[in-house]
A and B are shown apart, each in its own frame.
Chain A
């Protein structure tokens, strides 16, 4: 062959990424927030994004991106892109796509006019935010509602995921962050157990996948508990098709075995958890012996010193149990001798109570609950307890069952038992969280207050959400509708919800005018939605359609990039810039990266001039409400940004000299540059070059700032809380309920055990190609990849034996009916050996209804048409699998 031919072929066969300019950005296709770089070049005379790659400098995703990260750039060029503000055509109904183009002034004017028309008071509005609102706009969104007196935010990941799962682990570790998920150090772990998660690693979170893959290559043993053979389970050495909703029984049996066989990290448990604390039994409850201050925070605990044999008093907030209040060293005992007495009482250690509490949770008992052989459970408990480092994956996405918080909490307890917190091969806290924790401790020692947004871990949601729950925090004296509804429910003798943070609990009642607060109706008349798609992502869709189309609803505003199913229910749609178009308003921490690092986005391609960034829209609304000054002051009061800087930059924006996004960005750059000892220009240059700036790597951080070992955690006691003081406080407030038992308990999922022949447990999960809570299923490449696996991705998984009995074959259209609520959907069957015979599975990724989304409309079945509105009583987490279904052909 001629080299001429080779040269000619080589010259002609170019790739998209040739001659591109790489612009650093952050992926917006799921909340893993991978660092990416966008390749741009001129196509058809226009600067165009042609390729995305992972940013090799990223400590998070290490240069990799998943299919969504790759295909994400096509969102920019979606034929359905919103390119102008839209106002609903008079006389048309919400739900119909009947809009007229309008100018921004007209759109804002229309909203203001509607608010006046319906005499909407501040508390009668609610923001509705998708995950991007939390991750990228938290300072602006919180300040917006605080300064305008709107006590309501419904945030879509909370009831599904963040509150409804992570909070369980957070009660033990004190962690909680905007990216609260800990980034588990799979690669250094030798034994990994996964439970109720496919989304978090397998399907697909790149920052976790890069680490998990390394673990597989290094030969870690992987156990996956899942009723179906998910992508994650396909990587397991042992796939345990557990009975749906019974994972907590499996974990309790593991704890039973490990405590009895001594297979726990005695040193860690003794020194850094509350296991050695002395406690007594009071009215059937285990109560630690402690002193508290006026706010209810503990100021002292007692332990028995192994060395001296004396009872010693420990400080109320500390990371270690080896120094008492007088500064004297000790080594607490995990067990007190029989007949031990103190002040006339007979206390035992928390550890001893845990032994008592787990006595009944034998592997044989767990076999009955989970369907997994007792011998297998016992063996796994022993293997897990004997292997170091061993890990229970913290889990991603929660909800599903009322016992989810308990399940996730037990996972954290197992992790604490093997001492696997902030150690290689264990759960690693994010650099951002650790930094906040260090600053918080320094401030506390100096007696200074830490601003809300800088509060580490659990302190943040308690402070931030607490403001929404406290009527006294608002000039109008009303808490959030969710809290008001909870109070009304309790008054009516129903459980209500203790901590309805950013929840939709009571929204329907508020819209209908049925919610009363202080003898007056508490109505919701206006919704301002940002990057939210509740019609598709809340349960069930009928509830949100009813809320949005209710005649009492005065005005619905949707800020979005492409027309979501929810946008069709808006009165005004405001077109947003997408992630590769905009300069971000802030510099952020690098997600859950254990390295301390900062990152931001740079505009890769020109946005449509008629679209705006969310920051600009919020500022313009604040101006419309006459609250600009207060908005700026509030931002400064809850964050570290300097008020003078804000006023200067925002002032320029108000005069039209720059966008508000740019103004806040300048403030943010100035702040971070100062901290780093750089000029804002230097910082800008560095971030533009690298995309991510690592300030301190995890190895260094772990030397001096490991949680528990070096730093107290944001639990009430500062220790890793095996016994949960937070749950104990719920008992004090609300009386006992098994949901908030501070010890070790089991409550089974509420599922029909005796089933008819066509009745199944129902489970759902994620596909790797579509993320929850964004409209990216319209992406042509992702849709092509999904359709390529249509049977598995879009079908209802059903076991061959059951399918044969029901005469169902792959591809058959079947009807699935919720046996409790009566909701019905049509779905195609996928007959497979990859699922338990008593269970059917479907994915959560499809079923789009807006006809403008031409690639995804009508493809697959929507999950939220089969799930009823059922929530659990701590955070109103959706009980989204706690029912059975009947399947007929």
Chain B
């Protein structure tokens, strides 16, 4: 099985937020409460005229050693055999330890009001029936069908690329092994599977 990973190329991202919209529609995340699994941060830095405007796509890092999983009291947060960090909505207590522990801000509460709104918006196709602490699944359901995650598939600037980290010929593996793409907060030892070019 391929070890899928993602390279995010900040050189080309223009902050169009297609990723956020695609993810929200694909995974029915609560846009109505301004909660997203993936976003583009819009960061201003420096003083005029040397101002920088940095557009930074965010997403769960699907860590090798996920801080959110370590602290989860119910083991609702787990890694599947492909190494993706997932949440079992049935056993999540919503204690938010994972939210506090995640250095990447990748988790949020899919709360009671959100469940009700999801029902109102999506009717009998609502995917989320139970309160839980939500997170990116790397679109497991799409991957299983041979598709890219929704954010990656739609990204107009190809700022997100998904490929096999173990296949030295894949473009993501090349970007990582060349040192062009780097994980964030390596100091924390989380071992992200998402790499950034910046």
Contact = CB atoms under 8 A, between A and B. Distances in A.
Given A44-B124, A66-B18, A785-B31, A214 B158 contact: yes
Question: Which of the listed residues B21, B139, B154, B156 has the most CB atoms from chain A within 10 Å of its own CB?
Answer: B156
Contacts of A50: 25, 125
Contacts of A48: 125
A18 B21 CA distance: 17
A13 B12 contact: no
Contacts of A68: 21
Given A3-B81, A16-B125, A10 B51 contact: no
A14 B89 CA distance: 13
Contact of B53 (A15, A63, A229): A229
A214 B159 CA distance: 10
Contacts of A13: 86, 89, 127, 137, 140-141
A234 B145 contact: no
A6 B81 contact: yes
Contacts of A576: none
Given A3-B81, A5-B88, A768-B16, A17 B51 contact: no
A699 interface: no
A66 B12 contact: no
A202 interface: yes
B24 interface: yes
Contacts of A203: 14, 16
A788 interface: yes
Interface residues of B, number: 63
B34 A787 contact: yes
Question: Which of the listed residues B48, B78, B153 has the most CB atoms from chain A within 10 Å of its own CB?
Answer: B48
B40 to A, nearest CB: 9
B51 A204 contact: no
Interface in A1-45: 1, 3, 5-6, 8-10, 12-18, 41, 43-44
Nearest to B197: A217
B158 to A, nearest CB: 5
A644 B90 CA distance: 65
Given A1-B78, A66-B16, A782 B21 contact: yes
A217 B52 CA distance: 19
A213 B25 contact: no
Contacts of B147: 17
Contacts of B31: 780-781, 784-785
Given A210-B156, A231-B15, A235-B12, A837 B48 contact: yes
Interface in B8-47: 9, 11-12, 14-18, 20-22, 24-28, 31-32, 34, 36, 39, 42, 44, 46-47
A9 B81 CA distance: 12
B177 to A, nearest CB: 17
Nearest to B89: A12
A9 B157 CA distance: 32
A44 B125 CA distance: 8
Contacts of B156: 61, 64-66, 204, 206, 209-210, 213
29 contacts: A1-B79, A1-B80, A3-B81, A6-B80, A9-B87, A10-B80, A13-B140, A15-B127, A15-B150, A17-B147, A64-B153, A64-B158, A65-B156, A66-B18, A70-B25, A73-B25, A209-B14, A214-B158, A231-B16, A234-B14, A234-B53, A768-B15, A781-B21, A781-B31, A785-B20, A785-B21, A788-B34, A832-B44, A833-B44
Interface of B: 9, 11-12, 14-18, 20-22, 24-28, 31-32, 34, 36, 39, 42, 44, 46-49, 51-55, 75, 78-81, 86-90, 122-125, 127, 137, 139-142, 144-145, 147, 150, 153-159
Interface of A: 1, 3, 5-6, 8-10, 12-18, 41, 43-44, 48, 50-54, 61, 63-71, 73, 201-204, 206, 209-210, 212-214, 216-217, 229, 231-235, 239, 241, 768-769, 780-782, 784-785, 787-789, 792, 799-800, 832-837
Given A1-B79, A234-B54, A835-B48, 10 more contacts: A12-B89, A13-B89, A15-B26, A17-B142, A44-B123, A64-B156, A67-B18, A201-B14, A204-B18, A836-B48
